[in-house]
Amino acid sequence: MRIATWNVNSITARLPRLLAWLESSGTDVLCVQEIKCTPEQFPHTELRALGYEAAVEATGRWNGVAVISRAGLEDVVHGLPAGPQFEGVSEPRAVGATCGPVRVWSVYVPNGREVDHPHFAYKLLWLEALQAAVAGDAAGERPFAVLGDYNVAPTDDDVFDPAAFEGLTHVTPAERAALTSLRGTGLTDVLPRPLKYDHPYTYWDYRQLAFPKNRGMRIDLVYGNQSFAKAVSDSYVDREERKGKGASDHAPVVVDLDL
């Protein structure tokens, strides 16, 4: 079974690439983030033509997540249970579903903006709520994973230059402690296996030739429970999908399971 996560940075803008990638990669379940559309604008028709159905959590031009599956779609949970609001709004950042033998959550963790910004406090509260929401599945026997754009680099090895991020979000002790607590529920960081590069980054800014220079970050993560982690036979970052005109600034992270 092939499962992947991809921040597409607008599913409308990325649709031709997304459809082509689903066909060429043979992915069974894809968790997508930052779809930036309303539920009515989501491309259900195009995905059904390829044999996929989707659980969508979206409200408009910002954020939005989905689980796209050709392995079944049951027990869907829309939104993060008991999740915090930001400025009085419950943002569409999480959706869970059971896809055949595996249960997954697609998550788009708040960015945080700046360390002294209210969005940063919201980010930490959101991660607390995520931990509470997934603890039961994480401790269970069914293969389970939380996939998505976490907007946190777990270690200094997960950024191209730690000094460049000093004092910024994504690398603070508080954010990394939140990930440690999340893993404490029974989840393991399923690391992509390096191919050409020592550090398998998943995000590169559009500016300053960040991708050609490999000035990236590993912030798109797959956290799986014991049953999920034991079944992993391979994992990789599809850097090819970050190349060329019209690419997202994130690359898909792919995990193969032997179930």
List the domains of the chain with CATH numbers.
74-247 (3.60.10.10)
Report pLDDT digits (tens) over 12-62.
999 999 999 999 999 999 999 999 999 999 999 999 999 999 999 999 989
pLDDT one-digit tens code per residue, 214-247? 999 999 999 999 999 999 999 999 999 999 999 9
Looking at the chain, the whole-number percentage of residues with pLDDT higher than 70 is 100
> What confidence score (pLDDT) does residue 103 get?
98
Phi, psi (deg, nearest 5) at residue 222: -125, 110
| Mean pLDDT to the nearest integer, 156-176 | 96
Q: What percent of the chain has pLDDT over 90?
A: 97
Cα 74 to Cα 97: distance, rounded to the nearest angstrom = 6
Q: Determine which helix (DSSP H) or strand (DSSP E) holds 182, and give its type and residue range.
A: helix 173-183
Beta strand pairing call for 253-257 and 53-57: unpaired
Q: What are phi and psi of 225, to 5 degrees?
A: -80, -175
- Give the whole-angstrom CA distance, residue 71 versus residue 101: 9
